[in-house]
Structure 1
């Protein structure tokens, strides 16, 4: 990958899109991870107003510290960057207190994790509406179009996706080129939605390098019969998640009414 040219291309694409949409700039949820760090830096490089929003909900101190380090660095480098922190912990707890109590189970934990992401999306759009900004998505290609590792109408609810055509290794390469803090470049990817130390790999069962490989294999038309051992395990994980998460990747189905019924 020609990293400098890719960065230049994305920055120009962002700038052109914002100007054509007649908006002021961008708002990005900054988590302390590589994807949001790269996205917010690319937005900042457009020269347009870029609002970095930190949205902790029972967040691990390490994630908050990395996010703060990144935002501080961005503000020192770019005069068009501003920041705001909205601690949504109490809002999340209020939500849990008003919905009917349900049995504690993996489904409950996942539903609450997705609720965190949707509260954050709502907050980002609040600021976008106030300041005339576009919500910039932070999903990469493996997450958005491979395994569907994001929350529908949570971190998947965005106006545009600057890095969604880049796999994770390419995002890391951009992060190094864009001088994202080393602490973020070295951190294990995590969505931080469960209030514990689990990583993306813990949840998915495969690393991003393995998932990138599986994505290429599926695109080449490979099947389970072509692999054994760990490769087979990874290919099965990727294929399963790709299949069950198509509802996130495809347009919302619309029931079309036959003309003779109207």
Structure 2
């Protein structure tokens, strides 16, 4: 992506001030955020820490890949070296997840079961974040970027999509990386392949989506500019078709919850 006009410092300060003003207006103490070991949560948590308000970083492993856990711990150590307003908590949800899994009925459709259990992991984490937000009188900060939240809908409804604020949801993944570099986020996190960490293995977001974020950004911009699939060939066309399909089938996540409006003549006589 061409980010030569991206004003990294100014955008960083804008988000930090927005976060601080929002929390003060909402009359809360600060923010709670889940730390995954990925760049989105690393950048968002650093921006929250820069507000000077209390920040609670929560690790929530569920049969987690060791590399993801290690990067999360590395980032929390990074935050604590730089900021005095950061505290961390580990809530190991593995046993909770296992208990829930044995309690619920199963299905012979293994692929569907695996996806449902992955979403269940995300929803357990959402519940946990709101627990800590409640006892700390804080808000839950979301970590979704623009491609995930408004392009392909790559998040779990009422899981990682269940948040109070979305500080980086107007930033492409490449822009999040630029801010990460500016904030001097650990290189191991910036270079790590993006993963949602919901399957207990090392599969990447690209493995699941069928395209990289850099490719999807190009497709998203083209889609927003009204491009049609006939304008592309080869890999670019393939990615554009992937983007269009995911954008279409995930509108139920991307759009606000629909409300059934009752005609006035049926409510008032």
Distance 1:61 1:11 in 2: 31
Distance 1:157 1:51 in 2: 17
Q: 1:42 aligns with which of 29, 43, 47?
A: 47
Q: Give a deviation string over 1:150-205, Cα, whole Å, max 9, x none.
A: 00000000000000000000000000111111110110000010111110000000
Q: 1:19 aligns with which of 9, 17, 24?
A: 24
Q: 1:196 aligns with which of 187, 197, 201?
A: 201
Distance 1:149 1:214 in 2: 15
Displacement of 1:4 after TM fit? 0.6
TM-score under structure 1 normalisation? 0.99
C-alpha contact 2:206 2:212 (8 A) present in aligned 1: yes
Match of 1:162 in 2: 167
Match of 1:214 in 2: 219
Distance 1:188 1:258 in 2: 50
Q: 1:33 aligns with which of 29, 38, 50?
A: 38
Match of 1:134 in 2: 139
Aligned residues: 262
Distance 2:65 2:121 in 1: 14
- Do residues 7 (structure 1) and 17 (structure 2) align? no
Distance 1:11 1:144 in 2: 20
SS at match of 2:168: coil
Distance 1:202 1:101 in 2: 25
Match of 1:90 in 2: 95
Displacement of 1:261 after TM fit? 1.4
C-alpha contact 2:106 2:113 (8 A) present in aligned 1: no
Structure 1: which 5+ runs fail to align?
Answer: none
- Do residues 235 (structure 1) and 240 (structure 2) align? yes
Moved over 4 A (4+): none
SS at match of 2:53: coil
Match of 1:113 in 2: 118
SS at match of 1:159: coil
TM-score under structure 2 normalisation? 0.96
Displacement of 1:256 after TM fit? 1.2
Displacement of 1:104 after TM fit? 4.5
Displacement of 1:237 after TM fit? 0.1
Displacement of 1:101 after TM fit? 2.5
Q: Give a deviation string over 1:46-73, Cα, whole Å, max 9, x none.
A: 0000000000000000000000000011
Match of 1:69 in 2: 74
Q: 2:83 aligns with which of 39, 60, 78?
A: 78
Q: Give a deviation string over 1:123-164, Cα, whole Å, max 9, x none.
A: 000000111100000000000000000000000000000000
Match of 2:3 in 1: none
Displacement of 1:249 after TM fit? 1.2
